[in-house]
Structure 1
């Protein structure tokens, strides 16, 4: 039964991430188009793209710990269902308007509801997995998410020119070039919601009896000790990824003239590299080599890839560099989740919620900072971000050497 539940959870996460991935190459162009016809805040379209991209993980940062705590208290299933339903609705409505203010409101709602999905799935998987192979199963979870991101950008290229609702409008809602892709994206989240309601609504977990025994303690009480460096590492890694996701579409458009189609394949490559690495490599390496040894390698790959993105000028070289970035993220993300899950068998949902929250803060900060730096110089985000990531790599190597000397 546990294997069946884990399989369904991975499938649901895959469906939700298809919807997320589908919007990645489209969002910058939709927001830029809306910003050009709307003087909201009197800022450049590029900054609106950064703000719109960053406000989503910012809302996840604010709400993820509470979703995690609620999943400990009332169970994983209702929390997961509520998040998927709200996220699906926000996606569907997002494609029906070009009003910039409404787009911001829907983006806020989407971030709030989507924040429940990953920490709840990771917590549920942790409940169902023994410590001996938890790293492998959490790597599969990350692989499922990345696999969804692969299919999303590919689907966006198929649906971008489909105009099923041409001319339809009602008040602030009006069909546009991007309506169908967002409906399809929301539809995948609806399918995931149906799967949860049909097959997991009565499924049990350890959350009620195990994780919520110390519910009287505040969030700050579990940010001390072992989890604190994990949160810092996650903040930096996700900030680097977000900076890439939020600026590279505009960067490639400005320097190479790339369109949604090319960007779709670039993001697909990133997702494919992360998925294959996590499913086929990271889980095995965690069990065999350990999370502490994998993390420096992951940060080294991320830092080098971000640095090289300033210089690559052909599609093949971009694919190679993005693949290096994807493998680095594939080593870092499951390793951090695995370390978080092994701290204690209690309050798993809260810790996973905090990890997701800090990761979302990194995504938001990366988007905001990337947009600001990009407006100054198109290469500046990659130079500064790669420098920070490589500093973390050297810090980890130095820390590991000091630990060996002390032993």
Structure 2
């Protein structure tokens, strides 16, 4: 693997890009009370991050292919820090929404560039392991975010945002000084001279629907939908249904995310080599659905912790497995495919929390029942489609 010294910094940037998504979740009840906002605002605050992430991801992927990965990473980290600083200084809920929108743009710049960078510096044999580590950084950032936010909030409600902005600035300075550009200069110059008109976002979505990796993109959407469906209303659910405190929620999410991340790093490469990516995707979707439904069976703190740990583990294994397959299918269009990957992730981030908030107002259990249904349907239908057409399967998964 080339640029080995740059890879840890790359993982840190991936972690930070996703940390901001979940940072606000455990302090939502207190933020809503501070700004005298209603319960539906919780879902909107999580969803609006995904909205701008969705709108800007394909553009960022194309820019990463034309001008290199490093400029997009630097810009993304700057926007990440601005977003968190604005959230810390917000005196009105409208500014909090603006900060989340800016954070979504920053994430859109960061994530496709980082995924494309990882693909640039690895061989086909190394890519699965590299994507596993990148996936661990991605999912652990989003999952650890709520735990970190809850723990730092003990020092002050806005402390998580100040801390995140500071770390983001430090990561930007380190990347500026230490991160080499991974894209060949000749390729960059060639692509910059090309004058073909780039398709707009919705045209790119149409193109992705017709692509050989569309099924995998749908699975990305379903997995993100289920994860954000879980996290968006988790604090509200366990407070109202089980009486958990903010501190208990923070400890639970932090421990579960750390265990889930360790399980991912240890297990993903081994089980994929033994059983193959297609079987792992189907199994993890099914197990995620089961654990999501099991959350409703008991309010015992350690039972909820165990079930949550399993849910995070299964989701953590899903992400790098799909990233690996998408990267192999992308060929020379790593930036575009990474942008589409991020766009479908963003769609899940938009609609998951939005619908979870609506269903939560109808009945406490409905968000988790519906999320389990979406994940199970994905396992039964989408994975079956991968295996249903041998030619498509070979194109996506590759022959061994």
The TM-score range, normalised by the shorter chain, is: 0.7 to 0.9
Alpha-carbon distance, 1:98 to partner: 3.5
Partner residue of 2:121?
128
Alpha-carbon distance, 1:16 to partner: 4.5
Partner residue of 2:10?
9
2:164 to 159, 168, 185: 185
Cα 1:151–1:238 shift into 2, 3 Å = closer
Cα 1:373–1:312 shift into 2, 3 Å = same
Alpha-carbon distance, 1:152 to partner: 4.4
Q: How does 1:256-275 map to 2 (within 5 A)?
A: 256-275=242-261
Q: Which secondary structure state, in structure 2, belongs to the residue aligned with residue 70 of structure 1?
A: helix
Cα 1:30–1:72 shift into 2, 3 Å = farther
2:177 to 193, 198, 222: 198
Query: Is the CA contact (8 Å cut-off) linking 1:277 and 1:327 kept in structure 2?
Result: yes
Query: Is the CA contact (8 Å cut-off) linking 2:48 and 2:101 kept in structure 1?
Result: yes
Partner residue of 2:397?
none
Structure 1's unaligned 5+ residue stretches are 39-44, 163-176
Alpha-carbon distance, 1:378 to partner: 0.7
Q: Which secondary structure state, in structure 2, belongs to the residue aligned with residue 318 of structure 1?
A: helix
Alpha-carbon distance, 1:274 to partner: 3.5
The answer as to 2:309 corresponding to 1:323 is: yes
Alpha-carbon distance, 1:7 to partner: 2.5
Partner residue of 1:32?
32
Query: Is the CA contact (8 Å cut-off) linking 1:138 and 1:337 kept in structure 2?
Result: yes
Query: Is the CA contact (8 Å cut-off) linking 1:57 and 1:361 kept in structure 2?
Result: yes
Query: Is the CA contact (8 Å cut-off) linking 1:50 and 1:371 kept in structure 2?
Result: yes
Q: How does 1:216-255 map to 2 (within 5 A)?
A: 216=197, 218=199, 219=204, 220-255=206-241
Alpha-carbon distance, 1:293 to partner: 1.4
Cα 1:155–1:336 shift into 2, 3 Å = closer
Query: Is the CA contact (8 Å cut-off) linking 2:11 and 2:137 kept in structure 1?
Result: yes
Cα distance per residue 1:235-280 (max 9 Å; x no partner): 1110010011101110011012222211112322442243113211
Query: Is the CA contact (8 Å cut-off) linking 1:143 and 1:274 kept in structure 2?
Result: no
Partner residue of 2:95?
102
Alpha-carbon distance, 1:384 to partner: 1.5
The answer as to 2:282 corresponding to 1:303 is: no
**C-alpha distance in 2, partners of 1:199/1:183?**
24
The answer as to 2:82 corresponding to 1:82 is: no
Alpha-carbon distance, 1:161 to partner: 3.4
Cα 1:23–1:187 shift into 2, 3 Å = farther
Partner residue of 2:398?
none
Partner residue of 2:377?
391
Structure 2's unaligned 5+ residue stretches are 395-400
**C-alpha distance in 2, partners of 1:370/1:6?**
36
TM-score with structure 2 setting the length? 0.88
Cα 1:287–1:7 shift into 2, 3 Å = farther
1:373 to 350, 359, 364: 359
1:70 to 63, 66, 80: 63
2:41 to 23, 40, 48: 48
Alpha-carbon distance, 1:191 to partner: 1.7
Cα distance per residue 1:71-122 (max 9 Å; x no partner): 1111100111001101111101202224111111111111112222222111
Q: Which secondary structure state, in structure 2, belongs to the residue aligned with residue 346 of structure 1?
A: coil
Cα 1:154–1:244 shift into 2, 3 Å = closer
Query: Is the CA contact (8 Å cut-off) linking 2:18 and 2:138 kept in structure 1?
Result: yes
TM-score with structure 1 setting the length? 0.86
Cα 1:207–1:320 shift into 2, 3 Å = farther
**C-alpha distance in 2, partners of 1:369/1:94?**
24
**C-alpha distance in 1, partners of 2:144/2:358?**
30
Q: Which secondary structure state, in structure 1, belongs to the residue aligned with residue 298 of structure 2?
A: coil
Alpha-carbon distance, 1:216 to partner: 4.7
Cα 1:347–1:216 shift into 2, 3 Å = farther
Query: Is the CA contact (8 Å cut-off) linking 1:302 and 1:325 kept in structure 2?
Result: yes
Query: Is the CA contact (8 Å cut-off) linking 1:73 and 1:207 kept in structure 2?
Result: no
Cα 1:366–1:51 shift into 2, 3 Å = same
CA RMSD of aligned residues (A): 2.5
1:341 to 319, 327, 336: 327
Alpha-carbon distance, 1:363 to partner: 1.3
Cα 1:159–1:381 shift into 2, 3 Å = closer
